Structure 1
Amino acid sequence: MNMWIKVAVTMIAALTLATSSQAAEWNFYGSARVKTFHEDVDDGSGNDATNFDMGLHGNARVGAKVKVSDALKGRFEYGAKNGAANLRQLYGEWNFGAGSFLVGQTYTPIYTVYSKSVYLEDGALEKYGATSASRKPMLRLEFGGFQIAAVEPTADALGGTTTEMTIPNLEASYTAALDFATLKAVVGYNTYDVDSISVNSYVVGLGAKTKFGRAYLAGSFFLGQNLGTYGFKTATDANPVIFGASLVDNESFGCTLIAGYKLNEMVSFEAGYGYTESELDQAASRKDDASQYYLQAKITLAQGVYVYPEIGKLDQGQDNTGAEQGDTTYFGAKWQINF
């Protein structure tokens, strides 16, 4: 009897799975990406080194977009960070007519990245002037071009003993699609306590992109405070400092400028520049700055087969003591096949 019960349960489970898979539309995808770059690295103290960097991109990915109905959809995506599978995106989204409600992990509302720079594994100026806290777990409401989200909060003890968080990170954005350009405004706020000292972080920013013929221009800028404890992506030290029983805030700024041109269906070009700086609000501190500029081509060898030659430079600038942090000049390519 037990055998027949097991057989029946197995058949019911199989039928349920088959029915479920037929009810939803599963569109699987993948993207294999490999970097091959020559680097000339100056560590800031007069020491130079050359390096050839080849490996699988951490954002090489597999995933699926799932449509259950016109009102319900979802997505999952895994990457290959450090050679191991890591969750990039996993969310479900319900369209309730007047708007939509998202539950899960994806890019937060402040994400404003226009660059296609492939160095640093598709870094896209994300730490060099672009506005980004990347992907985080969240609850998000969207109405037209407006998004508001309760995002997983972040905290850094800053050398203290105990951290306490009472509310989520709050983010909002508004995107306006005009005849001549697409504009985006963003704002974010994060707060927590370290040993009864409040650490408040915020970011505000604007972005714009316009296209005319085969050419396009895009740019963004942000202003922020204590972005290191916010979880913001930046190459500078943007953490505040606890001094006695008070907090010394760290103010940040960043901007990007990108221009591109599509020569034909096979070849297009892009050039970009990004700059960011952070400075503690105290007399002895100096600006910690960093920048990147690059020139890139996108070559389409066949449908889904691409190579991205790129040449550029990362300048780590000075730290908040005035010490040089070095720079990296690079050239090479990313190789990519989408499937």
Structure 2
Amino acid sequence: MKRGGAQHEESIIGASLVAATLGLSVPAMALEVTPYGAIRVATWWTSSTYYNPAGDPLHDADFTLDLQGDSYVGMRVKEGDFSALAELGAYNPKNRSAGVELRMLFGEWNFGNGKLRVGYAPSPYVYRSEMIYDADGGFNGYASLFDGRYAQIKLSMNNGFYLALMRQENVGLAGIGATNSPTTNAGNGYINTPFNMTSTTYMAGYTDFDTFMPKTVLGYEGKAGIVTYGGGVAGNYYKIRTVAGNVQTGKDEIYSYLGFAHAKIDLAPFEIKVAGHTAQNLGNLMNNAAAAAGSFYSNNPATGKNAYTYGGWGQLGYTLNNKVKMFTGVAYESNEMRGRTSDDRMAAFANLQYAVTKNFNIVPEFAFLNEMRSAAGTKQERIYATGIKWEMKF
């Protein structure tokens, strides 16, 4: 990482600490400031099986000890009906050069009948399991709908309904390159022109995206007795056009939608959590790096165009006492398209969460990830992992 980037990150952290100090030390501001955080290190032993094009197995075994990418420090600030949250996270061990991550930054106004949020936060359809492998992955990419964080405007009513308008993401599609995808920032003007999704400079070969609306999520969260539940729908739409050798080579429209539902049943000392979803072109809607390749729209006429996804996961938890909790769960997702093999994947885990003290937890876990077969019908990786998360929080 360049020194200038490090200085910038230090400046951000320093400014945050100064702001927190001022909030705590100047009563005249009438601010309530609450700092919090969690530092997490993971030790994992993994045994993986990969396959070459002929289907021959290739084996790999590794031990890793690293900081989890979901380690963070943050603070909550409140003044009357207004509040804010700022959270900085550690670098992702898979992408160290990216440096410190802005995890969340938003303000909320409680206007009596509900709340209005403006800022940067996870998608409202995120619902996680207790699986810890891959930085508290929670079945991420294996029927979990976690897709990162987005700039958004979210209205949440006290009756449980909410509406979120989110920054739209778009990607290329099979057969049409994504050389100007704002996701990759490859060869476009998006980096320096945040309100123009693709470059306005003509090139002999490029990909152009036309966007018309934000990604929109409408949902509901409620509770009935021992059941806490939620669900909703999400939608996304954009056009894509490609040029090669100064000639237009393709154009298409991509419609994506998602229907999702989840619930938690409190049967103390047991608890049950379930989640399910169905979608069209899920990869284009969420732009999730962990999304299955088979969940993206394709313009190949031999295999149709729209990809259809369904999946879900279930988890059983048991609280032994105030120090020990146990969880186990399984997830499955299938991505289908006319004229090709379905792209399926599944995962399972079992762990024990032990509170050594109020601020120190250790979580040993066994996990299994199975990519099964790709849309081309070839075998994909299988991973066995056993490890421990070491967590200090405040």
Superposed pair shares fold, TM > 0.5: yes
**Residue 169 of structure 1, aligned match among 215, 237, 246:** 215
Paired position in structure 1 for 2:328 = 271
Paired position in structure 1 for 2:122 = 107
**Residue 306 of structure 2, aligned match among 222, 228, 249:** 249
Paired position in structure 2 for 1:74 = 84
Q: Please list, as runs of the form range in 1=range in 2, the aligned pairs for 1:45-194 lying within 5 A after superposition.
A: 45-69=56-80, 71-82=81-92, 83=96, 84-113=99-128, 115-144=129-158, 145-158=160-173, 159-160=176-177, 161-194=207-240
**Residue 289 of structure 1, aligned match among 333, 344, 358:** 344
> What SS does structure 2 have at the residue aligned with 1:318?
coil
**Residue 270 of structure 2, aligned match among 186, 192, 215:** 215
Q: Distance in 1 between matches of 2:27 and 2:217?
A: 35
Paired position in structure 2 for 1:236 = 292
> What SS does structure 2 have at the residue aligned with 1:300?
strand
Cα offset, 1:180, TM superposition: 2.6
> What SS does structure 2 have at the residue aligned with 1:110?
coil
Greater shift after overlay, 151-160 or 26-35? 151-160
> What SS does structure 1 have at the residue aligned with 2:283?
helix
TM-score (norm 2): 0.78
1:280-317 CA distance string (max 9 Å, x none): 2x21x111111110110000100110000000210011
> What SS does structure 1 have at the residue aligned with 2:376?
coil
Q: Residue type of the partner of 1:334?
A: K
> Could you tell me whether the CA contact under 8 Å between 1:209 and 1:217 is conserved in 2?
yes
> What SS does structure 2 have at the residue aligned with 1:54?
strand
Q: Distance in 2 between matches of 1:21 and 1:46?
A: 67
Paired position in structure 1 for 2:186 = none
Q: Residue type of the partner of 2:314?
A: L
Q: Distance in 1 between matches of 2:345 and 2:28?
A: 49
TM-score (norm 1): 0.90
Cα offset, 1:108, TM superposition: 1.8
> Could you tell me whether the CA contact under 8 Å between 1:199 and 1:247 is conserved in 2?
no
**Number of aligned residue pairs:** 320
**For structure 1, which runs of at least 5 residues remain unmatched after alignment?**
1-13
Aligned-residue sequence identity (percent) comes to 25
**Residue 25 of structure 1, aligned match among 28, 32, 40:** 32
> Could you tell me whether the CA contact under 8 Å between 1:129 and 1:256 is conserved in 2?
yes
Q: State whether structure 2 residue 353 is matched by structure 1 residue 338.
A: no
Paired position in structure 1 for 2:193 = none
Q: Distance in 1 between matches of 2:146 and 2:71?
A: 20
> Could you tell me whether the CA contact under 8 Å between 1:131 and 1:220 is conserved in 2?
no
> What SS does structure 2 have at the residue aligned with 1:286?
coil
Q: Residue type of the partner of 2:62?
A: N
> Could you tell me whether the CA contact under 8 Å between 1:132 and 1:232 is conserved in 2?
no
Cα offset, 1:19, TM superposition: 5.0
Give the 3 Å change call, closer, same or farther, for CA 169–109 of structure 1 in structure 2. Answer: same
- Pick the structure with more strand per residue: 1
